[in-house]
Amino acid sequence: MNRAGPGKPSQPVFSLHGVTRSYRVGTAEILALRGIDLDLAAGELIVLLGASGSGKSTLVNIMGGLDRPSQGTVRYHGLDLVAASDAELTRFRRRSVGFVFQFYNLVPGLTALENVELITELSESPMPAREALERVGLAGRLDHFPAQLSGGEQQRVAIARAIAKRPQVLLCDEPTGALDCDTGILVLQALSRANRELGATTVLITHNAVIAGMADRVVRLSNGVIAAIDVNQSRTDPGELRW
C-alpha cells in the first residue's frame, strides 16, 4: 500500500499553495479561504476539522474541481485545476474523484445497484457494482430504491458509488452528519476500509472532533486559514470511536 508515513508527504497527490477564495455578496466581500498551503500524499486519510463557516466545504469543493480559487495554485498530479477547462474538470471528476455527501444524493429513481452502475458505466476500469456494494455490506439490498433504505444504508450506497470507480481521491463532506452514532460508525468503517484497500487519498470533512482519531493527519481550519495540522501516530479503528 502506497501510504505516506506520518509527517509531510514526500510525493504529493494534491498540492495547494496560497489558495484564497472570496465571494462577493452585494457590496460585501467574504473571504472563505485566506492563503491555504497544503500537500496531500497518495493513500493518506485526512480529516478536515472546523466549525461552520471555517472554509472546509469551500476547500473540498476546490479540490474536487467544483469551484476555483480566487488566488493561488491547485495541482492534482500534473493537472492545474485552476487553469483547467470545464470539460477537463468534468473528466478529472469522472476519472479520479469519488464524492460522498452529507445527504447521500442518491438518484431516487434508481435502485442501489443502479445508483452504483451509474458511475461504473462512466469509468474506465471500475470494480463490478455488486462488489462495491458487497464491500459496504449491502449485498442483500441491491434491488432496493433509496426510499426503501435507512439513512446509514443510503450513505453506504453512496460510498459504494464513490469507490466503485477505484478513485484516486475520495472527498467526503460530513458523511455522518445526518446519522446517529452507531450508523455513523458503520459508514466510517466502510470509508476507512475503502481508503486502506483502494489506497485512495481520502479527505473527510467533519465538525465532530472524535472522528479525527481515524485520520493520518488532522487539518484544523478556522476562519479560512489552517490553524493547525496534527499528525496521528496511529489511526484509531472507527469501531472504537464513540460520540
Partner 1 sequence: MKTLHHKLRHDLAAHRAQYLAIVLVIAIGIATQVASGGLLASLQSARDDFYLEYRFADVFAPLKRAPEAEIAGISALAGVHVAQPRIRTAGIISDPRMPEPGTALLVSWPGHGLNAVALKSGRPPAVGSMELVVSSAFAEAWQLNPGDRLRMIVNGRMIEPVIVGSGDSPEFVYSIAPGDLLPDYRRHTVAWMGNDSLAALAGMQGAFNDLTLTLEPNASEGDVIAALDRRLAGFGATGAYGRDQQLSDRFIENEFEELNVHATVVPFIFLGSAAFLLHLVLTRRVRREREVIGMLKAFGYDNRVVGAHYLLLGFCVYAIGAVAGVALGIWLGRLLAGLYVDFFRFPGFHFTIDAGRTAVGLLIAGAAVTTGTLAGLAEAIRLPPAEAMRPPAPPLYGRGLSLPPPIRRRLGLPERMIVRHLAHAPAKTLLTVAGLAIACALVTFSGFQRNAIDYMTRFHFELQDRSDLSLVFIEPAAGRSVQDLLREPGIRAVEPFRNVPVTLRHDHASYRTTLESWPEGSRLRCLLTRDGNAIRLPASGALVSAQLAGMLGVQPGDTLRVEVMDGRRQRFTLPVTGLLDDYVGVGAYLRIDHLHRLLQEQDAISGALLAVQPDARAAVQARLAMLPRVAGISRRDTRVESFNETFGQSLLIVAFVFLVIAGTLAFAMVFNAARTVFDERRRELATMRVLGMTRSETAYILLAELLILTLLAVPAGMALGYALAAMLARAMQSELFRLPVILEASSYARATLTLFGAAALSMAWSSWDLARLDVKEALAARD
Task: Pick the binder of partner 1 from 17, 94, 130, 196 (CB under 8 A).
Answer: 94
Q: Which is nearer to partner 1, 64 or 238 (CB)?
A: 64
DSSP E strands in the chain: the ranges are: 12-25, 28-41, 45-49, 71-76, 79-80, 97-100, 169-173, 201-206, 217-222, 225-231
**Residue 90 C-beta: closest distance to partner 1, Å:** 5
Interface with partner 1 by CB under 8 A: which range of 76-84, 132-140, 142-150, 235-243? 142-150
And the C-alpha cell for 81?
485545476
The number of residues making up the chain comes to 243
Q: Which is nearer to partner 1, 185 or 194 (CB)?
A: 194
Can residue 207 be called a binding residue for partner 1 (CB under 8 A)?
A: no
**Residue 156 C-beta: closest distance to partner 1, Å:** 16
* Beta bridge partners of residue 41, listed in sequence order: 12
Interface with partner 1 by CB under 8 A: which range of 83-91, 179-187, 190-198, 211-219? 83-91
**Residue 133 C-beta: closest distance to partner 1, Å:** 15
**Residue matched to cell numbers 481550519:** 221
Can residue 142 be called a binding residue for partner 1 (CB under 8 A)?
A: no
Interface with partner 1 by CB under 8 A: which range of 10-18, 73-81, 108-116, 202-210? 108-116
Q: At what angle do helices 151-163 and 181-198 cross, to 10 degrees?
A: 10
# residues near partner 1 by CB under 8 A = 34
Can residue 174 be called a binding residue for partner 1 (CB under 8 A)?
A: no
Task: Pick the binder of partner 1 from 84, 118, 210, 225 (CB under 8 A).
Answer: 118
Give the CB-side neighbour count of residue 203, counting CA atoms within 13 A: 26
* Cα–Cα dist 24/58, whole Å: 14
* Cα–Cα dist 155/67, whole Å: 24
Residue 111 amino acid letter: T
Q: Are 21 and 67 in contact (CB under 8 A)?
A: yes
Q: Are 34 and 23 in contact (CB under 8 A)?
A: no
Task: Pick the binder of partner 1 from 161, 166, 217, 220 (CB under 8 A).
Answer: 161
Can residue 97 be called a binding residue for partner 1 (CB under 8 A)?
A: yes
Q: Largest alpha-carbon pair distance within the chain?
A: 54
Q: Report the interface residues with partner 1, using CB under 8 A.
A: 57, 61, 64, 66-67, 87, 90-91, 93-95, 97, 99, 101, 103, 105-111, 114, 117-119, 121-122, 143, 145-148, 161
